[in-house]
Each structure stands twice: as C-alpha cells, then as structure tokens.
Amino acid sequence: MRQRSLIAITAALAAGSLTLTACGSRDEGSSGGSGDKTTVVLGVDAPLTGDLSALGLGIRNSADLAVKTANKSEYVKGIEFKLEPLDDQAQPSVGQANAQKYISNKDVLGVVGPLNSSVSQSMQKPFNDAGLTQVSPANTGTELTQGDGWKTGNSVRQFKTFFRTATTDEVQGAFAAEYLFQKAGIKKTYLISDQKTYGAGLAASFKANYTKLGGKIVGTDNINPDDRDFNAVVAKIKKTGAEALYYGGEYPAAAPLSQQLKDSGQNIPLMGGDGIYSAEFPKLNKKGEGDLATSVGKPVEQLDSAKEFIKNYKEAGYKDAYEAYGGLTYDATWALIEAVKLAVEGNDGKLPSDGRKAVLDAMAKVKFDGVTGTVSFDEFGDTTNKLMTAYKIKNDAWAPEFSGSPKLS
C-alpha cells in the first residue's frame, strides 16, 4: 500500500508544482532623498523573466527612459523621479504580491504595467483600495475598464485608479475582423484561443465582429499555451477548409502553431493580436511568411512624434529592444509624470501631502502629445487614441500593411 500512497502524494505534489514556477530576481528599491528634491517613486510591473520577458524588458526599459528624460530636463521642478521595477513572471499571484509591495511604499505615487490582462485583474482591486494610480501600456481586455457589460452596451467603469494607453480588445478584434474580411478578402476562418483573459477576450471580439461583417467561423478550438505540439489541432483545421487561422494568444505558442499549420500542407495565414506582434515570432517560426498581426497605435518607426524616443532609446544603450509596447509604455509613464506635474503645480510647487489622491485627480486632466499620438483618457480610463495597425511578415520580419481606426457599431 505504501507505494500506492506514494504515488498519490506525488500526484498531489505535481499538481501543486504546476503553480510553482521560477523565482526571478528582484531589485529591492531603496528610496533615498537627494538633497533638496522630493523623491517620487514610480513602479513598473512586467514579466522580466519567462517566455514573455522580451516584451516585459522592453516595457521596463521604456519606462526607465521616460523617468530619466524627466529627471534630466527637470520636467517637474523639485521632484526627482525614481523607478522601481518588479517582475510579475506573467503570474496573477506574483502580480498581486507586487501590488502590495508598491502600496506599502508610501513614496510610490503611480505604477506602470502590467503586460498581461490576467495579472492586471489581480492588481486592480488592491490599487483601487489604496487609491494608487495604475496605467497599463499593454492590457487590452475590454472588461478591465468597462466591466462585463460592454458586450451588451452597459459599460460601467470598474476601478477609478485604472488607466491604459493601449486600446481595447473590442477595438482590436473589430479592426482585425475588418482587415481580414475587407482588405485581405478572407471569408472562412478557424478560431483558436489560449483561454487566458487576453486570448479569450480577443478571440470573442474577433468572432463577433467577423460574423457581423458576413465572415464564417468554420471551427473553434482552445489550446494550452504551455504546449508546443499542436499537430492534432492542425489536422482538425485541415478538414474545415479554412482560409485563415485567427489565434487569440501570445507568440510562444503561436510560433509553433503557425509552423505546424504550414508543415501540414495548409498554406493559410495565422493572424493574431499584439501578443504575437513580437520580433521573436518570426525567429521561432520558420514558416511565418504571410502571417498577420494587429497592434495598437501606428508603428513607432513611422511616427514623427516617435523619432526622438527611438533615438534616445538607442543612445541609452539598452540591451533589449523596446518591442511592441515601448512607445505606449513611454506614454504611460509620461502620463504619470504629467499628473505629478499637475499635482505639484496646483499646490504651489510642492508635492501635496496626499500625493496619491492628487495624482489620481490629475489623471483626468492629463493631455499631451506623446510618442504614439495625443494621450488622454476617457470616462472609463481608456485611451482616446483608437488607431491600430495591421502587420504582415515579409522576409522574416513584421512589416506594416495598413493603419486605421475600426468602425465600432
């Protein structure tokens, strides 16, 4: 019997260890005032380790650049900004612990991040209770700001402290559907999601808009984002005669999925959202030619307003690229800096005693020309900038195809 119970214990342990993943390094913030200046700490939370770290490191570096730029030009007189990055490993539980860490540090007046909508869900409430402003550069889950009622037109603001510079899945899904149906002329699509908050939301929005336009979803499936072998799913797609595959999820699983799709003899494009718009995607996928992605904003390389950002980013000598969210992160960080400036200016040049409340109150008034265009927030905390771009893989790299704002019904 002892052997049997050993296996039982082992199985329990195995299940437990499913939630156990690698512990990352953490930089402990040590806040020290420098001379006559008041220190304001801004947090940045993103996955700095793990398979989404390419995107996460780009976020951290871009926030760092914004803080350095503000300090260098003394953008807010008498205030020295300090960045405290924390690693959430793309895990909601780690994100929540990080949120508590920020809240307990009284010098933290705002937090940039996170990358994942699912992580954001675990951080929103603690931040809201503490009155600490959060600006995400990447969360596109529509319900994060508008609640589950958005599908039926009953949008209700969820948390007064949550803002974002990224647009919503509602906008992204609608844009993807319009692009695929009208521009690419593809009428039959297979739909796959990775069941995470981001992937499922995007897939649902795509489906709703695509069928509204007259397109046909010939089949749907869900996959486990930790898997790398999707041949069984791919064989299933084959018999449906789909002309494209829409995937709601991120690049680590999308890359082998796309390659196995083409390996099976189906020369149809895989399309995804900003989660697959990473330079890693074509590196991990040798048959990505023709695959499509949508991403928020215009490519920063094409924007005049972003030239300085790109130049400064290069000069700062960061080891990792700014990736998909660099410009949006810079703008998110700058929105917080702007809010601090408004708070300080409204208080005779000194930081108000309740800095968190003053910053939060100032967020509604924030409006400036950022890297990705004019940055301001609507009544839900969503960005007012709804510009999107579709990209296609050409010669193993993403190339912009078409930019525009979708018509929302």
Partner 1 sequence: MNELPQQLANGLILGAMYGLIAIGYTMVYGIVQLINFAHGEIFMVGGFGALTVYLWMPDGFALGAAVPLMILGGVIVSVAVATAAERFAYRPLRGAPRLAPLITAIGLSIVLQQVVWMWYPDAKKDHPFPQFEGGPIDVFGASIQRGDLFVLIAAPLCMFALGLFVTKTRSGRGMQATAQDPDTAKLMGINTDRIIVMAFAIGAAFAAIAAVAYGLKNGQVGFRMGFLMGLKAFTAAVLGGIGNIYGAMLGGIVLGVAESLATGYIGDIPGMDLFGGGAWKDVWAFSLLILVLLFRPQGLLGERVADRA
Q: Return residues touching partner 1 (CB under 8 A).
A: 1-4, 6-7, 9-10, 13-14, 17-18, 20-23, 49-54, 192, 195, 220-224, 226-233, 235-236, 238-239, 252, 255-256, 259, 263-265, 280, 283-286
In the bound complex, what is the minimum distance in angstroms from residue 38's beta carbon to partner 1?
36
In the bound complex, what is the minimum distance in angstroms from residue 222's beta carbon to partner 1?
4
* Closer Cβ to partner 1, 289 or 361, answer by number: 289
In the bound complex, what is the minimum distance in angstroms from residue 226's beta carbon to partner 1?
5
In the bound complex, what is the minimum distance in angstroms from residue 146's beta carbon to partner 1?
26
* Closer Cβ to partner 1, 35 or 265, answer by number: 265
In the bound complex, what is the minimum distance in angstroms from residue 224's beta carbon to partner 1?
6
**How far is the C-alpha of 392 from the C-alpha of 374, rounded, in Å?**
26
* Closer Cβ to partner 1, 18 or 72, answer by number: 18
Residues 169, 284, 400, 185, Cα dihedral to 10°: -70
DSSP code, position 306: G
Of 310, 385, 340, 383, whose CA–CA distance to 67 is shortest? 340
In the bound complex, what is the minimum distance in angstroms from residue 337's beta carbon to partner 1?
29
- Tokens coding 297: 């904003």
* Closer Cβ to partner 1, 15 or 36, answer by number: 15
Q: Is 349 left (phi over 0), alpha (psi -120 to 50) or beta?
A: left
> What are the helix (H) ranges across 22-137?
53-72, 92-104, 117-130
* Closer Cβ to partner 1, 48 or 336, answer by number: 48
CA atoms within 13 A on the CB side of 240: 21
* Closer Cβ to partner 1, 90 or 108, answer by number: 90
In the bound complex, what is the minimum distance in angstroms from residue 128's beta carbon to partner 1?
32
291 φ, ψ to 5°?
Answer: -70, 155
Query: In terms of DSSP bridges, do strands 373-375 and 388-394 run parallel, antiparallel, or are they unpaired?
Result: unpaired
Decide: helix, strand or coil at residue 164: strand
Residues 112, 115, 117, 119, Cα dihedral to 10°: -80
**How far is the C-alpha of 64 from the C-alpha of 26, rounded, in Å?**
16
Kindly list the distances between the CA atom of residue 330 and the CA atoms of 57, 184, 229, 286, in Å, as whole numbers in the listed order: 13, 32, 36, 32
Length of the chain: 409
In the bound complex, what is the minimum distance in angstroms from residue 256's beta carbon to partner 1?
5
Residue entry with tokens 């990358």? 115
Of 269, 250, 249, whose CA–CA distance to 258 is shortest? 269
* Closer Cβ to partner 1, 3 or 409, answer by number: 3
**How far is the C-alpha of 67 from the C-alpha of 286, rounded, in Å?**
38
* Closer Cβ to partner 1, 235 or 408, answer by number: 235
